[in-house]
Amino acid sequence: MSSNPSNNNDDDTPKDPLSEMLERLMGGNMQGMNPQEIAKAAGLPNDPQAMAMMMQQVQAMFSAQSEGPVNWTMARDQARRAAATGGDPSVGSKDQREVDEVLRLAEMWLDPVTDFPSTALLGKAWSRAEWVEATMETWKRLTEPVATSIALALSNAITEQMPEEMKTMMGGATSMLQNMGGAMFGMQLGQAVGALSRDVVSSTDIGIPLAENSMALLPANVAAFGQGLDISEYDVRLFLAVREAAHVRLFTQVPWLTGHLLGAIESYARGIHIDMSKIEEVARDIDPSNPESLQSALSEGVFMPERTPSQDAALARLETTLALVEGWVDELTAAATANLDSSVALREVVRRRRATGGPAENAFASLVGLELRPRRLRDAAALWNQLRQERGIDGRDAIWQHPDLLPTPEDLDDPAGFSKRRQLAESADADVDAALEKLLAGGFESPADEDPATTDETDSEEGDGGPTNKDDDAR
């Protein structure tokens, strides 16, 4: 007897969940198809228990009530499961007390090095699952536009490629097909967010405020961050606390900054274009009886959105703002922790970590086509240091008063020339403002308003031997 349930013709023998699902989707035509080989090609787990858990998720995906193009409940549940992978130590009262104390100290250390006042927020200690819960609404806001685009593209591709007899068989399952893409994206997003929860050390670790009005550290991840550094656990915690407090102080005291960053990401996501022709082409070329064709399709990233030139420009603006935020925090943290022996070493570790990103951050980038990395962190830190030397702390921080005042990529290229370029721009603006004010006050006379007598007198003087044109003398 064959060990493969899908090849067993005995109707009394129960089929495994994967075989049953595939057989239903293929209308009973499973000839030449081995579900286990397809699962292997798709990168699905070989372990029966893991496979059973995944099939439960798939069944939930098919049976879930519609909540729009994306199943956010599934995304949250998947994120919590991924966060618990390898353990998620609970946060006790001792952790809460230590985190609150170190963040209070961090606020005190920041006071002399910035013009922005303290936030007076209570420091929080989070587990990874608590970080997921606190940040999920922001992830939803950031990814919903691209998730909707991908969900609709997948739904249309599935419907168009489905044989007519299968469409008839599916009958009223149209809504299920429409939600498949969103459910798949929800599972992928949840996996990416859950993986991030095992890497981040604070609420602002990736450079954007994921949890509004929160200042928090993740003790388990802070401890993991310090492993192998040959630096005391307390120094690591204090340094990271100063960074968190600096981030939160900036986002709190500069009201427009959060909306500016999140709005830029949302605009980028809304402009994502899904190449439907590529999806349809790959769908046509997949041979269900050949697992290698499925593996090839999956490895090509056919569902990855394609960037347009306008999105490339938007991404450049976003990366500049992220670099300015991280550079400011980097500069303040260095100044505030100058008396900490390990400050220089920790600063370099954080800089490299933020510039390169980790596996979890890369997974998120591959999911939505967006990398939240301050690639020019060092240049931005050098610029803020230059501005402090030229303008003092107050003058440096005053740059954050309005988005139009923010430095540009050109300023990151040449920090020393920023003030001169800004003075020239301000001088030109002042000239325009003065001219406009004079015009509105009636200070400019039109030719029609000139005194005819004065004009005639001038003409007469020229005719009576007054100033002549050199060209006339030449003639």
Q: Is pLDDT at 214 greater than 50 in this prediction? A: yes
Q: Is pLDDT at 138 greater than 70 in this prediction? A: yes
Contact 270, 145 (CB under 8 A): yes
Q: What are phi and psi for residue 416, nearest 5 degrees?
A: -65, -25
Contact 132, 77 (CB under 8 A): no
Give the mean model confidence (pLDDT) for residues 60-71. Answer: 59
pLDDT band for position 212 (cuts 50, 70, 90):
confident
Q: What are phi and psi for residue 404, nearest 5 degrees?
A: -70, -20
Q: Is pLDDT at 29 greater than 50 in this prediction? A: no
Give the mean model confidence (pLDDT) for residues 306-333. Answer: 86
Least confident of 19-28, 165-174, 231-240: 19-28
pLDDT band for position 315 (cuts 50, 70, 90):
confident
244-269 burial code (b ≥16 CB/10 A, e <16): bbbbbbbbbbbeebbeebbebbbebb
Contact 372, 360 (CB under 8 A): no
pLDDT band for position 55 (cuts 50, 70, 90):
low
Give the mean model confidence (pLDDT) for residues 119-141. Answer: 93
Burial of 226 (0-12, 13-18, 19+ CB in 10 A): buried
Question: Tell me, what's the pLDDT at 74?
Answer: 85
Question: Tell me, what's the pLDDT at 145?
Answer: 74
Give residue 216's region: left, alpha or beta (phi > 0; psi -120 to 50): beta
The model's pLDDT over 440-460, given as tens digits with 9 standing for 90+, comes to 666 655 555 555 555 454 454
Closest CA to 184 of 310, 288, 60, 292: 60
How far, in whole angstroms, is CA 304 from its chain's centroid? 16
Question: Tell me, what's the pLDDT at 244?
Answer: 97
Average per-residue pLDDT for the chain = 75
Question: Tell me, what's the pLDDT at 144?
Answer: 79
Question: Tell me, what's the pLDDT at 97?
Answer: 95
Question: Tell me, what's the pLDDT at 48?
Answer: 61
Q: Which stretch of DSSP H or E encloses residue 353?
A: helix 343-356
Q: At what angle do helices 276-285 and 291-299 cross, to 10 degrees?
A: 160
Question: Tell me, what's the pLDDT at 288?
Answer: 52
The model's pLDDT over 363-422, given as tens digits with 9 standing for 90+, comes to 566 666 666 777 789 999 999 999 999 999 999 999 999 999 999 999 999 988 888 888
Q: Is pLDDT at 123 greater than 90 in this prediction? A: yes
For residue 3, the 8-state DSSP code is S
Q: Is pLDDT at 234 greater than 50 in this prediction? A: yes
Question: Tell me, what's the pLDDT at 80?
Answer: 94
Which residues touch 15 (CB under 8 Å, ≥6 apart)? 5, 6, 8, 23
369-391 burial code (b ≥16 CB/10 A, e <16): bbbbbbbbbbbbbbbbbbbbeee
Q: Is pLDDT at 470 greater than 60 in this prediction? A: no
Residue entry with tokens 């587990």? 127
For residue 432, the 8-state DSSP code is H
> Long-range pairs for 339-342 at CB < 8 Å and ≥24 separation?
340/235, 340/238, 340/239, 341/235, 342/231, 342/232, 342/235, 342/236, 342/239
Question: Tell me, what's the pLDDT at 277?
Answer: 66
For residue 44, the 8-state DSSP code is -
